[in-house]
Amino acid sequence: MYLTSVMSILVALSGAWTTQCCGDSCDAECPTAHLTDQEKQEGFVLLFNGKNLDGWIGSVKGYAVEDGKLVCKKHGGGNLYTKKEYSDFVFRFEYKLPPGGNNGVAVRAPLEGNPAYKAMEIQLLDDNHPRYKNLKPVQYNGSIYGAVPAKRGHLKPPGQWNSMEIMAKGTHIRVTLNGVVIVDADTSKIGPKEIHNHKLEGLQRTKGHLGFLGHGARVEFRNIRIKELSSGE
């Protein structure tokens, strides 16, 4: 207990407290709306303040703030969007799935229509669960839904925190899960795509809202932050 307290103080003072150095054994001590000193210097800002849903629109009743975390309610959810639109960016967050949990990240989405088809959806899914045994590769965790399959084997078990980074720069989309690049694609080169008889119309969108796409499972999020990229980055 004493060693844990000392380490917590040292890490907090360093300003470099991340999921990796905190781990799942000390959830109560982990920050939930935090930027490291390096992220502050690089221009990252928080999208979620750990207190309320200021800056978010859409299905605000399907989500809640609990112990500083953004929580997609069980049997709730829906599409929760940033009020602001984004073009090129690096988007970072941490998420925890329950067994069989399902959510997603809307990238450059309009506010109307299904973002999985009208924009891009990055899957957040406990794809090792038996209920998903018949999925297509383009439906696994981290994939650009219906378009680009993600490398598997880097998702942590249900109940543990995962760290994801989504970089969007023009038509270049890169997804990093727990430090490993699992998608690195140029959407201008993948051709027309469709899934479940729906054409994917949003792969070439250049601007829109970010969001979380709840599907009736309790999924927790924390340390949600973004850096907008300039033309030279």
pLDDT digits (tens, 9 = 90+) for 11-38: 344 333 344 444 444 454 589 999 999 9
pLDDT at 26: 42
Token readout for 127 is 């794809």
Q: Which helix (H) or strand (E) holds 58?
A: strand 56-58
**Contact (CB, 8 A) for 122 and 175:** yes
pLDDT at 232: 65
pLDDT at 230: 86
pLDDT digits (tens, 9 = 90+) for 45-93: 999 999 999 999 999 999 999 999 999 999 889 999 999 999 999 999 9
Strands (E), the chain: 45-46, 56-58, 63-66, 69-72, 78-86, 89-96, 102-109, 120-125, 161-169, 172-177, 180-186, 194-195, 198-199, 208-214, 219-228
pLDDT digits (tens, 9 = 90+) for 137-190: 999 999 999 999 999 999 999 999 999 999 999 999 999 999 999 999 999 999
DSSP label at residue 148: B
Dihedral angle, C-alpha 198, 136, 206, 220, nearest 10 °:
110
pTM score of the predicted model = 0.88
| Mean pLDDT, the chain, whole residue set | 90
pLDDT at 27: 52
pLDDT at 29: 59
Distances from the Cα of 101 to the Cα of 64, 73, 75, 96, angstroms: 17, 11, 11, 9
Q: How far is CA 59 from the centre of its chain?
A: 17
pLDDT at 3: 42
The C-alpha atoms of residue 214 and residue 94 are separated, in whole angstroms, by: 15
Mean predicted confidence (pLDDT) in 216-225: 97
Rg over CA atoms, the chain:
17
pLDDT digits (tens, 9 = 90+) for 111-122: 999 999 999 999
Token readout for 164 is 């994801």
pLDDT at 18: 43
Token readout for 1 is 């207990």
pLDDT at 150: 98
Show the DSSP H helices in the chain as ranges. Answer: 2-14, 19-22, 37-42, 115-118
